[in-house]
Structure 1
Amino acid sequence: MFDRTDQLGRHTMDRALIIGGGIAGPVTAMALRRAGIEASVYEASPAETDNAGSFLTLFANGLAALRTIGADGPVREASCAAEAVEFVSDTGRPLGRRALAGSWEAGFAPRTLPRAELCRVLREEAVRRGVRVEYGKRLVDVAVRPGGTVVALFADGSRAEGTMVIGADGIRSRTRVLLDPAAPPPRHTGQITVCGRTRDAAHAPPPRTYRMYYGRRGLLGCTTAPDGTTFWFANIPGPELPRGTLAAVTPDRWRRRVAAVFAEDGTRAAEIVAAAGDDIVGVNAYDLPSTAVWHDDHMVLAGDAAHATAPNAAQGASLAIEDGVVLARCLRDLPAARAFGAYERLRRERVERVVALSAAMAGRRARTADERRERDAEVERRMTKDPRTVLNWLTGYRIDWAAPVH
């Protein structure tokens, strides 16, 4: 842990004000506590929120980062594992099956769980470790006093004081705007992602397996939990919808819209969607190709606030977890201003590469019969490769907590 003295020569200790209580926020707080740095989390929502239809997958790199700070156990208990993935053409023809990245490492098979459940588990674990989490704290501004004290000002009129602000406040980050008022807004990817679940086991994938259906007009992936719940997501083309419009779409409208996207395919995708209950959520898919300003001497960004990815590579949550652990390592060994620079140096190239990969996947659409045949042939070729060598840079990333940061 790096200690500092103020302008009067008094010994002080760093205290982080973490804005955002989603994924990056609680992980960063836990990692900082392990580094000996006090941290509190300030979440804008008034209380725990539930977006039950939306779910996500943590791959080996995210799980390994959680293990680095001893926080992987509660996440494993709340999730289900998958060890293999299989692909199906829009014609219904199987294109192959292979092991999922990390499934050959003990404890690193990808885990699936509702996003709200992951956030809840991480917050509860952070609180158990002594982290204070406050709700209803929407950041308005940040002020820096002489001597370096940082003051976060919230919309309810309250304030908090510390030595740094960590913006883990998501894709619509207020912290990012305060750092750089010219920061570009998130980019819509031309997709809408719809998530749902069903208890209809008639079309469920085999146990511990992800099944990916390539459709003529969209992609549907699904996996089944041990209790028989099949989680599915669909990436479908569509323009950006205003928040009010999204909120007004009923589960039945989502169900009918998504089922229609896959209705002409020779797969079970449309039937899986049609069997879903009312637990369906649709969201605009965004990314941030590059954020010019990650930090100044007192504020720094983490997770989606710095580098949101399209959902296609399923890496948003894992990257946010990595960020929190790497940032804490840097702050353990360096004063804040230098630590923020080291953190950006260690993270920027990797995360922008993942964002670009996910954007390319989102834009890869086979519109004609010839293009679909080429896609199927390419998928079949990939199935013959050793899964341990495919995108190992992505899921094979590991953080050495013990290594010093210079």
Structure 2
Amino acid sequence: MGTVTSAIVVGGGIAGPVAALALRKAGIAATVYEGHDGFADGVGGALSIAPNGRTALAAVDADHVVERVGTPMSGMVMQSWTGKRLAEFGSFDDLPPMQLVWRHELYRALYDEAVARGVRIVHGKRLVSVRGGVAGFADGSTAEADVVIGADGIRSTVRRLIDPSAPSPRYVGLLGFGARCGPAGVAPTGDKMHLVFGRRAFFGYQVTAGGDSGWFVNLPSKDPSYGATFSREEWLPILADAFAGDRIPAVALIRGTDPAALVVTGGLEDIPSVPVWHRDRAVLIGDAAHPTSPSSGQGASLAIESAVQLARCLRDLPVPAAFTAYERLRRARVERVIATAASTNSDKAAGPVARVLRDLLMPPMMRLFANPAKWRWQFDHPIDFAAPVAAEAALSPSGRG
């Protein structure tokens, strides 16, 4: 049996509220401490919640949150810059369909769900220290619980405090952009996301029957700080020019975007492996433990999975055994996803010579990868919240896998 009855969750983004919901279901009181004074309304672009993320949310009775704010995605269509369809990846009939969501809407929906269920979320608490179960904040205040959970993102303070030698985020060679826009005279894609390897950049878009559109761009750049001083008005023509001559609707969608709607993510990053996930009474989840680049399409879903699995472990096992079981359940899976995304990033950021080779090899590669069985391991990841953890964790692979 677990011995944890209370938890401090550092970070009120996506993973934090889900962790608090899962902990409450496990009988553990949780308070979320967020460093920012205000809300993250309007912050962030589009992301997908994969079937495995929805399965994890369902385990804590929260899948309805995504259904309320998301747009169904029944599949993805891969295209070349010529407009040629290379492959189509459909959803699995026996799994929940993927959902396209805007980060700020998902954030607020999860935040409101947590508060409605009695979770306390405290703003303006920037973490500066962790000693045992005591969290110290920049304003001089402290909070104490049985465990401290770092859900504070890719630049996690908790990660640095438990391991000062932890690796820093790695730039993956791509700048990220995205926007939601109205009708732009582009044919609807229905409930399918189209993903295009352009000659100079990568483009993704989905257009509803009503004409509402969402798009994103991954722009190769050797310098992660390139364009740091550019305004949104300056970025839009640069992005449109990146697809000039490509026989896809990227230019029309970008030109039809209100500059105020453009989200500039900046340099995309990951960390291939975080060596230390827990120490003493502190543990990491989400991007604090396993940050993957957006190319995975799995960042939020993996964070949700980890939050739910950690709650199960803390319910059933004492610390530190709970932390060990949690890492055994998670590390091999998340690092495999990170590595898969890194390979995708290499294709997106290919140089002129590599692009020619990529475009020649892509059609046969896409036919190979179109086999759904090759990707099912990512999406088919059931979590039986009620099942005891002990026996399951003992059989799970340890280490990095």
Q: Would the alpha carbon gap of residues 225 and 29 (structure 1) be closer, same or farther in structure 2, given more than 3 Å must change?
A: farther
Q: CA deviation at 1:199?
A: 0.8
Deviations 1:269-325 (A, max 9, x none): 222212111211122100010111100120000000011001111100000000000
- For 2:59 and 2:223, the matched residues in 1 are separated by 38
1:281 pairs with one of 244, 263, 266? 263
- 1:368-383 matches, cutoff 5 A: 368=353, 369-383=356-370
1:82 pairs with one of 73, 77, 81? 73
User: Letter of the aligned partner of 1:377 in structure 2?
Assistant: P
User: Letter of the aligned partner of 1:312 in structure 2?
Assistant: S
Q: Is the contact made by 2:206 and 2:213 (CA closer than 8 Å) also made in structure 1?
A: yes
Q: Would the alpha carbon gap of residues 233 and 96 (structure 1) be closer, same or farther in structure 2, given more than 3 Å must change?
A: same
Q: CA deviation at 1:209?
A: 1.1
Counterpart residue number, 1:329: 312
1:207 pairs with one of 190, 193, 202? 190
User: Letter of the aligned partner of 1:262 in structure 2?
Assistant: F
Q: Would the alpha carbon gap of residues 167 and 204 (structure 1) be closer, same or farther in structure 2, given more than 3 Å must change?
A: farther
Q: Does 1:105 align with 2:94?
A: yes
Deviations 1:301-356 (A, max 9, x none): 00000110011111000000000000000000011211011101110111111111
Deviations 1:105-160 (A, max 9, x none): 36x1110111111111111111111110011111011123xxxxx21111122221
- 1:157-196 matches, cutoff 5 A: 157-196=140-179
Instruction: Name the stretch that deviates more: 344-353 or 228-237.
Output: 228-237
Counterpart residue number, 1:255: 236
- For 2:36 and 2:341, the matched residues in 1 are separated by 28
Q: Does 1:133 align with 2:115?
A: no
Counterpart residue number, 1:55: 46
Q: CA deviation at 1:53?
A: 5.4
Q: CA deviation at 1:370?
A: 4.2
- For 1:142 and 1:221, the matched residues in 2 are separated by 41
User: Letter of the aligned partner of 1:159 in structure 2?
Assistant: T
User: Letter of the aligned partner of 1:256 in structure 2?
Assistant: P
- For 1:216 and 1:225, the matched residues in 2 are separated by 26
- Work out the number of aligned pairs and report it: 384
User: Letter of the aligned partner of 2:381 in structure 1?
Assistant: Y
Instruction: Name the stretch that deviates more: 88-97 or 161-170.
Output: 88-97
- For 2:289 and 2:35, the matched residues in 1 are separated by 18
Q: Does 1:25 align with 2:16?
A: yes
Counterpart residue number, 1:10: none
Instruction: Name the stretch that deviates more: 114-123 or 374-383.
Output: 374-383
- For 2:22 and 2:302, the matched residues in 1 are separated by 15
- For 2:339 and 2:153, the matched residues in 1 are separated by 19
Counterpart residue number, 1:300: 283
Q: Is the contact made by 2:201 and 2:218 (CA closer than 8 Å) also made in structure 1?
A: yes
Counterpart residue number, 2:180: 197
Q: CA deviation at 1:240?
A: 4.6
Q: CA deviation at 1:98?
A: 3.9
- For 1:53 and 1:196, the matched residues in 2 are separated by 10
- For 1:227 and 1:344, the matched residues in 2 are separated by 45
- For 1:139 and 1:333, the matched residues in 2 are separated by 28
Normalising by structure 1, report the TM-score: 0.90
Normalising by structure 2, report the TM-score: 0.91
Q: CA deviation at 1:208?
A: 0.7
Q: Does 1:400 align with 2:384?
A: yes
Q: Is the contact made by 1:65 and 1:322 (CA closer than 8 Å) also made in structure 2?
A: yes
Deviations 1:184-229 (A, max 9, x none): 1100101111111221242244211111121012211111356532
